[in-house]
Structures are given as structure tokens and as C-alpha cells.
Amino acid sequence: MKNKFHTLALALFLYSIGAHAQKTTERIDSVRMNQYGQQVSWLSLNPEAQEGILNFTSDDGNYRFWMDNRVQFDGAVFGTDTYNEIGNGVTIRRARIAFKAVLWNHWYAELDLDFAGSAIEMKDMIIGYIIPEHNLIFKTGHFRENFGMETVTTSRYLTFMERSFASKLDASRHLGFQAQHWADRYVLIGGVHFNTQGEYEEVEFSQDQNKDFGIDEGYSLTGRAVFRPIIDEEKVLHLGVAGTYRTPKTHLEEPNTYRFSTRSHTSINRKKYIDTDDIKGVENVVGVDFELAGAYKNFMFQGEYKSFNVNRMDNLESVNINGLYIQAGYLLFGGRYNYNKADGEFTRLTRGRDNGELEVAIRYDYIDANDFDAEIYGGSAEGYSLGLNYYFNPNVKFMLNYILKFRTSTSLVKYNFQNL
């Protein structure tokens, strides 16, 4: 009996030591130190793959980290009956690496870089504050101005390999501040923007003009409104309008200038057939954009008309540049087009079959960069595009474009055939 008592006492003693050690270990494990030697609170993030996108999310949803990467490999073969010699080729069109995070439920951060062309280009660099209960977002940093439905649609979900001629008129990414609010029937977006920081040369021009001439960087006021008289799970009708007021920016090589130029519907052909050259003596640029789009189940259409007036100083004639496009798509395997209410744009479609979806699309687009009254001869062009897209899964898409383009530069006709 005595031996049993001693055995029980020893077991209780060893258990108490183990329990104490476990509690000590738990206290030590619960302590986290950051890189600056400060004790910080912490929680675990749960890894998961959301249709191919790697996410790390906290149990309460207040913290989230994910990567949003893409690689787009392009090639082009051109017809031989062209005004200029055009070389065939292949390229990495985009090689994007993006890191995104939600912190403390309301704060949002994004770092997005492009490595295509053997260079690093800054894309989106965003600090945002989200108020989800009011469908409201404020953000600052470097991002696209919200002008043009096709332009603000991510390249991941474009219907054709390249955006239309007319969408090249739209502003790209610039430093700025923006507010965005949406509801079921509408979207309202407005912001003030400054210089671009995308490429080293643009940053260098801006710094040199500040250093050598003390020139202000310039600014832009840009806004967009979208109304949806019809919207449900199967259909949507989208009506949009956007406007922008822009003073000359110092990221251009020459102060107080504006220049519009664009290549064809591929990044392989490096020739710029549409080019106004530097329009001098610019006081401001005013642009308007009208959007019409809709979808019903496996059919969609989208179109825009844009007009930009370049107003000049010293009684110089103002310059008008305008363009439009209209496109339509049809899903042959019974899939569905989806619409993003917060951003006012089409997003990733739903495939009709588990093994993929086949889409056929057509587009007409036009650009006129000639203003004979102002003696600006940038040229004009129109394009007819046929697209065939196969969506293997949410992450992999194959695109084939056949494009016929006619370009007119003053009285000189240029044309080429393009198979992509």
C-alpha cells in the first residue's frame, strides 16, 4: 500500500512539472518579436488556394495576404502585302508580380511590378482604406486614372490581346488620390492625379524640369459615373460617362506639350503609324468618354466614344483627337459573362464546361488624330478584329486574333494584315 502511495505521489509530481513546463512553453510561444526588437501581437494565417490564387487569411478575416501574378506570351505573324516591312516575332508581353494585403480589416496595400522587356516598370503602388459597410474606398499612390471602361479593365480579362486604338487616348497610371463609391445601380469615382512614375526616363524628365526650370508637375482631375438600369445574375445594361481635365505634365521630355501616338494591335510591331508628334504651347487637355455595355447570359457587347481637346496658348488653334470602338463576344459552350459592380467592368467569366470555354469575339475600332485646322497630322486608322479565346481553367487562357487594319496619314494610305 505504501509503495502504491509513493507511486501515486511521484506521478502527481511529474504531472505538475510537465503541466508547468507546458504553460511556460505556451507563454514563450505566445511572444513574438519583430525585426526591431519589439514585442508584438500575432495570429495565424491559414493558407488556401482560391481557384489558383494563393491566399493567407486570418480566422476573423481581418488580415489577408495574396499574390496576383501573370505571364502573357505573345506572338505575331504579319501579311506580306504591307506598306512598310514588318517583322514577325514573339515576346513576353507581361510578366507581372503583385503582392496584395488587407490589414486590420480596413487597410489595403498593393505592390505590382512588371518585368517584361527586361526592365522593371512600376505598375500599381497603392495604400487604401476600405469602408465595406458603406461600399466606399479611398486610395492613394500610383494607379490607373478611372477613365475608360476598357482601360480600367485588367489585362487579365481583356477580350482581345491588345486594347483598341481609342483606348490609347486614356490616361495610364499616375500618382494621385481617389475616392470610389458604389451601389447596385451606380458607381461614382473621382480623383486628383499628378505625374507618372512608371518608367525611369519619365521620372528623370520630371526631376530635370524641376531642377533646371522650377516647373510645376501639373495635375489632372478625373471622374467617372456609371448607371445600371438593368442588373441581375444573368444580365446587365451599363451606361457610363467619364471626364478629365489635364494640365501639362513634366514627365514629358519637352515642357507644355502633348503627344498622342500608338502602335498597332500588337506589341511585336514597334512602328508607330499614328503619331501627332509634340503639340506645343499646351495650356490644358479636356477629355470626355461615353460608355455603353451589356450582357445577357453568354452574350456581351461593349463600346466607347472618346474625344480629347488640346487647348493651346497664344491664340493657337485647339486640337481635337477622337476615336471609338465597339465589340461583342459569345460563349459557345454555354458559359456566362460576369460583371463587377464595384468597378463597373466585366470580370472573369464562368465557363460552361469543366474542361473549358470557347469564346468568339468581333471588334471594330477607329482613331482620328488629324486636325487640319490646327495643322496637326497624326494620322487616322480603323481596325477590324476577330478573336477566338479558349479558357482552359480560371488561370489559363489561349487567345487567337486576326486583325485587318487600314491607316491613313494625311493623303497616304497604309495598311497591313495581322494574324495573332
- Model pLDDT for residues 339-393, shown as the tens digit of each residue: 999 999 999 999 999 999 999 999 999 999 999 999 999 999 999 999 999 999 9
Per DSSP, the residues of 216-262 read: ----EEEEEEEEEEEESSSEEEEEEEEEEEEPPPTTSSSTTEE--EE
β-sheet bridge partners, residue 260:
none
Assigned domain for 61 exists: no
Reported as a single tens digit per residue, the pLDDT across 233-253 is 999 999 999 999 999 988 877
| Rounded Cα–Cα distance for residues 150 and 167 (Å) | 7
Give the range of the structural domain holding residue 271, as residue numbers without chain letter.
Answer: 132-419
Assigned domain for 306 exists: yes
Where do we find the cell 463600346?
303
Reported as a single tens digit per residue, the pLDDT across 30-56 is 788 888 989 988 888 999 988 888 999
Where do we find the cell 504591307?
82
Per DSSP, the residues of 269-301 read: ----SEE--PEESEEEEEEEEEEEEEEETTEEE
Number of domains in the chain: 1
Contact predicate 334/311, CB 8 Å: no
One-letter identity of residue 178:
Q
Assigned domain for 24 exists: no
- CATH number at 391 reads 2.40.160.10
The predicted pLDDT at position 118 comes to 84
Q: Which of 78-82, 183-187, 269-273, 338-342 has the lowest mean pLDDT?
A: 78-82
Q: How would residue 191 be classed by pLDDT, with cut points 50, 70 and 90?
A: very high
Q: Any idea what DSSP says for residue 168?
A: G
Assigned domain for 108 exists: no
Cell for 36? 526591431
Contact predicate 367/166, CB 8 Å: yes
Assigned domain for 107 exists: no
Q: What is the CA radius of gyration of the chain?
A: 27
Cell for 192? 486628383
Assigned domain for 102 exists: no
Q: How far is CA 150 from CA 169, 302, 357, in A?
A: 11, 9, 22
Residue 11 has pLDDT above 80, yes or no: no
Closest Cα to residue 68, out of 135, 127, 114, 136? 114
The predicted pLDDT at position 414 comes to 40
Closest Cα to residue 379, out of 414, 409, 355, 415? 409
Assigned domain for 247 exists: yes
For residue 287, give every residue at least 6 positions away whose Cβ sits within 8 Å of its Cβ, in sequence order, or none. Answer: 147, 169, 170, 243, 244, 246, 306, 307, 308, 309
The predicted pLDDT at position 416 comes to 40
Assigned domain for 43 exists: no
One-letter identity of residue 325:
Y
Burial readout 11-43 (b: 16 or more C-beta within 10 A, e: otherwise): eeeeeeeeeeeeeeeeeeeeeeeeeeeeeeeee
Residue 75 has pLDDT above 90, yes or no: yes
Indicate the SS3 state at residue 151.
Answer: helix
pTM of the model: 0.87
Residue 28 has pLDDT above 90, yes or no: no
